[in-house]
Protein backbone atom coordinates (compact mmCIF):
# COMPACT_ATOMS: atom_id res chain seq x y z
CA UNK A 1 0.00 0.00 0.00
CA UNK A 2 1.28 3.49 -0.85
CA UNK A 3 2.50 5.61 2.09
CA UNK A 4 0.00 8.26 3.17
CA UNK A 5 1.27 11.82 2.84
CA UNK A 6 1.41 14.15 5.86
CA UNK A 7 -1.67 15.89 4.50
CA UNK A 8 -3.57 12.60 4.24
CA UNK A 9 -2.63 11.78 7.84
CA UNK A 10 -3.99 15.19 8.90
CA UNK A 11 -7.23 14.45 7.04
CA UNK A 12 -7.55 11.06 8.79
CA UNK A 13 -7.24 12.49 12.30
CA UNK A 14 -9.38 15.52 11.47
CA UNK A 15 -12.20 13.21 10.45
CA UNK A 16 -11.58 10.77 13.34
CA UNK A 17 -12.11 13.54 15.91
CA UNK A 18 -15.80 13.70 14.96
CA UNK A 19 -16.40 10.66 17.17
CA UNK A 20 -15.84 12.89 20.24
CA UNK A 21 -18.43 15.46 19.15
CA UNK A 22 -21.91 15.28 20.63
CA UNK A 23 -24.59 16.58 18.22
CA UNK A 24 -26.46 19.62 19.51
CA UNK A 25 -23.61 20.86 21.75
CA UNK A 26 -21.32 23.88 21.47
CA UNK A 27 -17.70 22.97 20.94
CA UNK A 28 -14.36 24.78 20.85
CA UNK A 29 -12.53 24.76 17.53
CA UNK A 30 -8.81 25.36 17.00
CA UNK A 31 -6.87 26.54 13.98
CA UNK A 32 -4.64 25.07 11.30
CA UNK A 33 -4.51 22.71 8.36
CA UNK A 34 -5.46 19.66 10.47
CA UNK A 35 -8.39 21.50 12.03
CA UNK A 36 -9.53 22.49 8.54
CA UNK A 37 -10.29 18.79 7.93
CA UNK A 38 -12.11 18.59 11.26
CA UNK A 39 -14.26 21.59 10.33
CA UNK A 40 -15.04 19.98 6.98
CA UNK A 41 -16.21 16.84 8.80
CA UNK A 42 -18.28 18.93 11.25
CA UNK A 43 -20.13 20.33 8.25
CA UNK A 44 -21.00 16.79 7.14
CA UNK A 45 -22.48 15.61 10.47
CA UNK A 46 -26.06 14.36 9.93
CA UNK A 47 -27.07 15.93 13.29
CA UNK A 48 -24.98 19.06 13.57
CA UNK A 49 -23.45 20.84 16.55
CA UNK A 50 -25.39 23.79 17.97
CA UNK A 51 -22.42 26.06 17.46
CA UNK A 52 -18.72 26.63 17.92
CA UNK A 53 -16.39 28.97 19.76
CA UNK A 54 -13.59 29.67 17.33
CA UNK A 55 -9.91 30.39 17.96
CA UNK A 56 -9.20 32.48 14.86
CA UNK A 57 -10.70 34.58 12.11
CA UNK A 58 -9.65 31.81 9.71
CA UNK A 59 -11.58 29.08 11.51
CA UNK A 60 -14.54 31.41 12.02
CA UNK A 61 -14.77 31.97 8.26
CA UNK A 62 -14.56 28.22 7.55
CA UNK A 63 -17.24 27.41 10.16
CA UNK A 64 -19.60 30.10 8.92
CA UNK A 65 -19.13 28.99 5.31
CA UNK A 66 -20.59 25.63 6.38
CA UNK A 67 -23.50 27.24 8.20
CA UNK A 68 -22.14 26.45 11.67
CA UNK A 69 -23.03 29.25 14.12
CA UNK A 70 -19.98 30.87 15.75
CA UNK A 71 -20.36 32.17 19.31
CA UNK A 72 -18.20 34.71 21.10
CA UNK A 73 -16.11 33.18 23.91
CA UNK A 74 -17.73 35.65 26.31
CA UNK A 75 -21.12 34.06 25.72
CA UNK A 76 -19.96 30.66 26.98
CA UNK A 77 -18.81 29.65 30.45
CA UNK A 78 -18.02 26.00 29.77
CA UNK A 79 -17.29 23.73 26.83
CA UNK A 80 -17.16 19.95 26.99
CA UNK A 81 -14.76 19.68 24.10
CA UNK A 82 -11.98 21.60 22.37
CA UNK A 83 -10.36 20.15 19.22
CA UNK A 84 -7.10 21.54 17.90
CA UNK A 85 -3.81 20.61 16.25
CA UNK A 86 -0.29 21.02 17.60
CA UNK A 87 3.21 21.73 16.34
CA UNK A 88 4.72 19.32 18.88
CA UNK A 89 3.25 17.04 21.54
CA UNK A 90 5.26 15.30 24.25
CA UNK A 91 4.59 12.04 26.16
CA UNK A 92 2.56 13.94 28.80
CA UNK A 93 0.29 15.73 26.33
CA UNK A 94 2.13 19.05 26.70
CA UNK A 95 2.31 20.90 23.40
CA UNK A 96 3.94 23.64 21.42
CA UNK A 97 1.29 25.54 19.49
CA UNK A 98 1.09 28.74 17.50
CA UNK A 99 2.72 27.80 14.22
CA UNK A 100 -0.46 29.17 12.64
CA UNK A 101 -0.32 32.28 14.81
CA UNK A 102 -3.54 31.67 16.76
CA UNK A 103 -1.99 30.70 20.11
CA UNK A 104 -3.64 33.37 22.27
CA UNK A 105 -7.20 32.65 21.24
CA UNK A 106 -6.42 28.92 21.26
CA UNK A 107 -5.40 29.22 24.90
CA UNK A 108 -8.49 31.24 25.75
CA UNK A 109 -10.93 28.83 24.09
CA UNK A 110 -9.20 25.68 25.34
CA UNK A 111 -9.25 27.08 28.89
CA UNK A 112 -13.05 26.90 28.76
CA UNK A 113 -13.05 23.23 27.84
CA UNK A 114 -13.25 20.11 29.94
CA UNK A 115 -11.42 18.02 27.37
CA UNK A 116 -8.72 18.96 24.82
CA UNK A 117 -8.57 16.52 21.91
CA UNK A 118 -5.35 17.09 19.97
CA UNK A 119 -5.28 16.00 16.32
CA UNK A 120 -1.85 15.63 14.78
CA UNK A 121 0.16 13.67 12.26
CA UNK A 122 2.92 11.46 13.63
CA UNK A 123 5.68 14.00 12.85
CA UNK A 124 4.41 16.13 15.75
CA UNK A 125 5.13 13.53 18.42
CA UNK A 126 8.40 14.32 20.27
CA UNK A 127 10.11 13.24 23.48
CA UNK A 128 11.14 16.77 24.52
CA UNK A 129 9.52 20.01 23.30
CA UNK A 130 11.68 22.60 21.57
CA UNK A 131 12.77 21.47 18.13
CA UNK A 132 9.84 23.37 16.61
CA UNK A 133 10.52 27.11 17.10
CA UNK A 134 8.48 28.26 20.10
CA UNK A 135 5.93 30.96 19.13
CA UNK A 136 5.57 33.80 21.63
CA UNK A 137 2.97 36.52 21.02
CA UNK A 138 4.32 39.86 22.23
CA UNK A 139 3.32 43.50 22.43
CA UNK A 140 5.59 45.11 19.78
CA UNK A 141 7.36 47.50 22.21
CA UNK A 142 8.56 44.50 24.27
CA UNK A 143 10.14 42.61 21.34
CA UNK A 144 13.78 43.58 21.97
CA UNK A 145 13.62 42.86 25.70
CA UNK A 146 12.03 39.43 25.13
CA UNK A 147 14.69 38.62 22.49
CA UNK A 148 17.39 39.52 25.06
CA UNK A 149 15.77 37.43 27.79
CA UNK A 150 15.75 34.31 25.59
CA UNK A 151 19.36 34.94 24.53
CA UNK A 152 20.42 35.31 28.19
CA UNK A 153 18.73 32.02 29.04
CA UNK A 154 15.73 30.81 30.98
CA UNK A 155 15.59 27.68 33.15
CA UNK A 156 18.95 26.47 31.87
CA UNK A 157 18.29 26.83 28.16
CA UNK A 158 18.68 29.73 25.75
CA UNK A 159 17.25 30.50 22.34
CA UNK A 160 17.34 32.83 19.39
CA UNK A 161 14.07 34.73 19.02
CA UNK A 162 13.22 36.09 15.59
CA UNK A 163 10.29 38.31 14.63
CA UNK A 164 7.81 36.42 12.43
CA UNK A 165 7.37 38.13 9.06
CA UNK A 166 5.00 37.82 6.12
CA UNK A 167 6.33 36.89 2.68
CA UNK A 168 6.60 40.58 1.80
CA UNK A 169 8.87 41.20 4.81
CA UNK A 170 6.34 43.08 6.93
CA UNK A 171 5.84 41.85 10.52
CA UNK A 172 3.15 39.19 10.89
CA UNK A 173 0.24 40.63 12.88
CA UNK A 174 -1.99 38.33 14.93
CA UNK A 175 -5.80 38.49 15.10
CA UNK A 176 -5.17 40.47 18.32
CA UNK A 177 -2.98 43.08 16.61
CA UNK A 178 0.28 41.86 18.19
CA UNK A 179 3.53 40.33 16.87
CA UNK A 180 5.06 36.86 17.19
CA UNK A 181 8.62 35.90 18.05
CA UNK A 182 9.68 32.39 16.99
CA UNK A 183 12.35 31.03 19.34
CA UNK A 184 14.84 28.46 18.07
CA UNK A 185 17.29 26.39 20.07
CA UNK A 186 15.32 25.83 23.29
CA UNK A 187 15.20 22.52 25.08
CA UNK A 188 12.01 22.56 27.14
CA UNK A 189 12.53 19.88 29.80
CA UNK A 190 9.91 21.33 32.15
CA UNK A 191 7.06 22.72 30.01
CA UNK A 192 4.97 23.86 32.98
CA UNK A 193 7.83 25.85 34.54
CA UNK A 194 8.82 27.34 31.17
CA UNK A 195 5.23 28.35 30.41
CA UNK A 196 4.99 30.18 33.76
CA UNK A 197 8.43 31.79 33.49
CA UNK A 198 7.93 33.24 30.01
CA UNK A 199 4.33 34.27 30.74
CA UNK A 200 5.69 36.46 33.57
CA UNK A 201 7.88 38.59 31.30
CA UNK A 202 6.52 42.10 30.65
CA UNK A 203 5.01 42.39 27.20
CA UNK A 204 4.45 38.68 26.65
CA UNK A 205 0.82 38.14 25.66
CA UNK A 206 0.96 34.36 25.33
CA UNK A 207 3.68 31.73 25.14
CA UNK A 208 2.93 28.83 22.81
CA UNK A 209 3.55 26.16 25.47
CA UNK A 210 0.33 24.40 26.41
CA UNK A 211 1.26 22.63 29.63
CA UNK A 212 -1.42 23.98 31.96
CA UNK A 213 -3.97 23.22 29.27
CA UNK A 214 -2.38 20.11 27.89
CA UNK A 215 -4.17 17.57 25.74
CA UNK A 216 -6.49 15.07 27.40
CA UNK A 217 -5.94 12.77 24.46
CA UNK A 218 -4.28 12.86 21.07
CA UNK A 219 -5.42 11.28 17.83
CA UNK A 220 -2.14 10.67 16.08
CA UNK A 221 -2.08 9.93 12.36
CA UNK A 222 0.44 7.19 11.69
CA UNK A 223 1.16 5.08 8.60
CA UNK A 224 -0.62 2.21 10.43
CA UNK A 225 -3.76 4.22 11.12
CA UNK A 226 -5.03 6.59 13.80
CA UNK A 227 -3.52 5.90 17.22
CA UNK A 228 -5.25 7.20 20.35
CA UNK A 229 -2.84 8.45 23.00
CA UNK A 230 -4.29 9.20 26.41
CA UNK A 231 -2.59 11.23 29.11
CA UNK A 232 -3.05 10.79 32.84
Ligand X SMILES: O=C(CO)[C@H](O)[C@H](O)COP(=O)(O)O
- Show binding-site residues for substrate: 31-34, 84-87, 97-100, 124
- In the annotated binding site, the residues are 31-34, 84-87, 97-100, 124
x/- mask, ligand X, residues 23-62, rule CB under 6 A, reads -------xxxxx----------------------------
CB of residue 185 to ligand X, shortest distance in Å: 19
Nearest to 30 by CA among 162, 168, 156, 215: 215
Burial label, 200 (beta-carbon count in 10 A; 0-12, 13-18, 19+):
exposed
Instruction: For residue 57, give the 3-state DSSP assignment.
Output: helix
Strand pairing report for 217-222 and 225-230: antiparallel
Number of amino acids touching ligand X (CB under 6 A): 17
Catalytic residue among 12, 88, 106, 143: 106
d(CA 84, CA 69): 18
Q: Which residues contact 213 (CB under 8 A, 6 or more apart)?
A: 107, 110, 111, 116
Residue 84 lies near ligand X (rule: CB under 6 A):
yes
Is 106 a catalytic site residue?
yes
d(CA 32, CA 14): 11
Residue 159 lies near ligand X (rule: CB under 6 A):
no
Residue 138 lies near ligand X (rule: CB under 6 A):
no
Considering only 51, 93, 100, 130, the residue that binds ligand X (CB under 6 A) is 100
CB of residue 135 to ligand X, shortest distance in Å: 7
Residue 101 lies near ligand X (rule: CB under 6 A):
yes
Residue 98 lies near ligand X (rule: CB under 6 A):
yes
- Across the beta sheet with 225-230, the strand order is 70-71, 51-54, 26-29, 79-84, 113-121, 217-222, 225-230
Considering only 97, 164, 179, 214, the residue that binds ligand X (CB under 6 A) is 97
Strand pairing report for 70-71 and 51-54: parallel
CB of residue 219 to ligand X, shortest distance in Å: 12
Considering only 63, 81, 102, 146, the residue that binds ligand X (CB under 6 A) is 102
Amino acid sequence: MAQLSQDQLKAEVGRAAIRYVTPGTIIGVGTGSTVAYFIEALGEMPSPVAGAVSSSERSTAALRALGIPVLDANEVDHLDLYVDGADEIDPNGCMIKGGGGALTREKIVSSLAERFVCIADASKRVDVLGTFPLPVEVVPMAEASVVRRFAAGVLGTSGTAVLRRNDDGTPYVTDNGQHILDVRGLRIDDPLAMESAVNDWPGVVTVGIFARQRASLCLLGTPDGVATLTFG
